Amino acid sequence: MDGLDSPQTPKGSLRKFLEQLSGAGKAIGVLTSGGDAQGMNAAVRAVVRMGIYVGAKVYFIYEGYQGMVDGGSNIVEADWESVSSILQVGGTIIGSARCQDFRTREGRLKAACNLVQLGITSLCVIGGDGSLTGAHIFQTEWSGLLEELARDGKISTEQVQKHGHLNVVGMVGSIDNDFCGTDMTIGTDSALHRIIEVVDAIMTTAQSHQRTFVLEVMGRHCGYLALVSALACGADWVFLPESPPEEGWQENMCIKLSENRARKKRLNIIIVAEGAIDTQNKPITSEQIKELVVTQLGYDTRVTILGHVQRGGTPSAFDRILASRMGVEAVVALLQATPETPACVVSLSGNQAVRLPLMECVQMTQEVQKAMDERRFKDAVRLRGRSFENNLNTYKRLAIKLPDSEIPKSNCNVGVVNVGAPAAGMNAAVRAAVRVGISEGHKMFAVYDGFEGFAKGQIKEIGWGDVGGWTGQGGSILGTKRTLPGKYLEDIAAQMRTHGISALLIIGGFEAYLGLLELSAARQKHEEFCVPMVMVPATVSNNVPGSDFSIGADTALNTITDTCDRIKQSASGTKRRVFIIETMGGFCGYLANMGGLAAGADAAYIFEEPFDIRDLQSNVEHLTEKMKTSIQRGLVLRNESCSENYTTDFIYQLYSEEGKGVFDCRKNVLGHMQQGGAPSPFDRNFGTKISARAMQWISSKLKESVGKGKKFLSEDSVCVLGISKRTLLFQPVAELKKETDFEHRIPKEQWWLKLRPLMKILAKYKVSFEVSDASQLEPVQPRGPEEPAAI
């Protein structure tokens, strides 16, 4: 290892860590198989670098299982530089192929022989359920295959003893997100990016001509892409294989489309999964739907089939981080494996990396298909997991408005307000709140321009149709201000009285959190504030206590990642150039740290991890070493408030001086472009779901008080709704106070700091890394009482 020690790592912990996880004498083979997916390269890069880091040999197996069977030049040892510059590339650089030979025992014999010759007894397979099933069969047959090879004199008996068992770890790379046991598969988020880019583009032309568009998206057996993109763009109707439309859907759909037109909506979007079926398991095609709309309604209708566009393009920030985390976890799992360890899959649950038994997941995935074949559609949806079920229920609530006569009135008025800086996805959250509120019988009031507008009485009732088309809009349509309510308490209380507001939903960042604390403290003085109040975190900084994620952070992360990609390309052209990039985030290093992980940065300076001149010096030395290799460029991120004195200019000047003759420097401040832009699919979906959940909480609180005229005084009636590890939690602001560093406006504990060593390892620094417990395989889908936080 010629990487430099990271000065922040105590020497003892590093030594212990490397002893615990020594890969010396191990050989790991990595292959991608089945259909390609964006982010596979990030996974390959992480496996290769983590493997080399712990002292193992890592081999590329080109062209999937076919390369393993053919051997020869298809199995090649990889080095650190062979995975340089692939993080931002879609598809897979080691190729993927569907392989018939591996399905036969002869094929697997050849493959085993090729692996044994190189001493490869650990396999990391990146692919769908077919590829992972193949790996499982290979593992169970391994000792038998070796014995047969030894009998035929192809390998020696020593080799049989030395390489007597095979360990397998899988990562799911599939854009369909059709694998049970994992919340997100590698490539799904990027495929959603492609779909949403197209939908946004189609919406503008459809609007001009008052057209109906039928969009066909991928998903032969799984409707995840169709469902989530329908949720993210507010489609009028969606067809999924797991949940076919009820008998007589043709008429219902036409009524729905014409109702929407009557509400002054100039376009209709219908999304169809390629595997869509009716309740009799007969296919529903996009052409059929078009014919129906044209003959029944006479609307000008067009069909767009997205096809392989969805597999292409550069991976999103989410997929790069997911794949990097999974790749590192996969190597750790292989090093901790014993001869008895069954094949496992590393996957994501909430935002926790977990290991699951591979065959249980595959069996569950096949159960879904079986349920669909047997027309047990309710079971199919349930088996897909809770996040799929939640998505479906949320979509139904937001897409279909019941006639007013069928909605029981609650006689409650609920206010919605945006506070703080704008964040992409705020509008999706407002839309979801308004529609869920109306469907629960409340009157919804929009408060314009934050607490300031509240005090001035800028409050209007807002209807179902008023929020149509809001999901894809960036910024904040209601307008937002950073002003806190403290100095306007009298006026706000008066406005709440005037409009009879019986609950409040606040969507915003740290100011919203402070505002909620001030309103809750003012309850003694103003009884108007004795109502249920809940905050949904929305800020690019992701610094709200009580939640691991906030609306808007994913969009900002993608902006940073895209910019870094372009900058790296420019640096590769000029050679020997280091870029220093300043990101937003206040004192919270989330954007700098995660942006560094997603863009493959050499260092990221953040406030949470204090650094001094020695660290800067060691980073310069590290870059000087790097310039001697074939990778002659550097990328350094700096959070805007990471240090009062080590400013971006200072770091730029230091690097320029110290790197004289070796590399030159450029600096770039990204600024407010991180707050703008159309929201990413993740932010639209997250905003929609978390806000809908907040409205349900408000309704349940209001139901408790019906007829009792009770005032809400308890702490649990003022909450922040957030994601914590794997669950959605409502936490009273009073309890969150002790977890907050008010001076720096960040939570005292932040989950993503655990991922810091990941970035450093992948950039060739020696650091220790917190390893999950050995051999802890989790059961698939334990059904706990808490709410799952899958996005």
Cα–Cα distance for residue pair 17/768, rounded to 1 Å: 6
8-state DSSP, 514:
H
H-only helix segments in 575-680:
590-599, 613-626, 648-658
Yes or no: say if 216 and 198 are a contact pair by the CB < 8 Å rule.
no
Query: What residues have CB less than 8 Å from 600, skipping those under 6 apart?
Result: 87, 88, 568, 635, 762, 763
SS3 for 657?
A: helix
Q: What is the C-alpha separation between 698 and 414, in angstroms, rounded?
A: 9
Give the C-alpha separation, 383 to 388, whole Å. 9
**Neighbour order of strands in the sheet with 718-724:** 459-461, 443-447, 413-419, 501-508, 533-537, 718-724, 727-732, 787-788
- E strands in 368-473: 413-419, 443-447, 459-461
Phi, psi of 429 (to 5 degrees): -65, -40
Phi, psi of 444 (to 5 degrees): -105, 135
Strands 27-32 and 122-127: parallel
Q: Which two tokens stand for residue 337?
A: 């494996």
Residue 364 pairs in a beta bridge with none
> CA-CA distances (angstroms) from residue 85 to 573, 690, 759?
13, 36, 15
Q: Pick the catalytic residue: 36, 70, 129, 176?
A: 176
Amino acid at 277: I
Helix (H, G, I), strand (E, B) or coil at 59: strand
Is residue 200 part of the annotated active site? The answer reads no
Helix axes 129-151, 358-373, angle to 10 degrees: 130
- Cβ(605)–Cβ(585) below 8 Å: no
In DSSP notation, 31-53 reads EE-SS--TTHHHHHHHHHHHHHH
Compute the distance between CA of residue 647 and CA of residue 264 in angstroms, rounded to an integer: 52
DSSP per position, 474-494: -S-TT--B---GGGGHHHHHH
What three-state secondary structure class fits 722?
A: strand
Cβ contacts of residue 650 below 8 Å, gap of 6+? none
Radius of gyration of the chain (CA): 27
Say how far apart CA 342 and CA 167 lie, in whole Å. Answer: 8
Task: Give the containing element (helix H, strand E) for 435.
Answer: helix 426-439
Bridge-based pairing state of the strands 603-605 and 344-349: unpaired
User: What is the DSSP secondary structure assignment for residue 186, as one 8-state letter?
Assistant: B
> How many C-beta atoms surround the C-beta of residue 388 within 10 A?
26
What are the distances in angstroms from CA 542 to CA 217, 572, 773? 32, 31, 28
CA–CA separation, 112 and 218 (whole Å): 35
Q: How far are the Cα atoms of 195, 474, 537, 635, 652 from residue 7, in angstroms, in the given order?
A: 44, 41, 35, 19, 20
All residues at 6 or more sequence positions from 760 whose CB lies less than 8 Å from its CB, including other chains: 6, 767
CA 514 to the chain's CA centroid = 27
Cite the active site residues.
Answer: 176
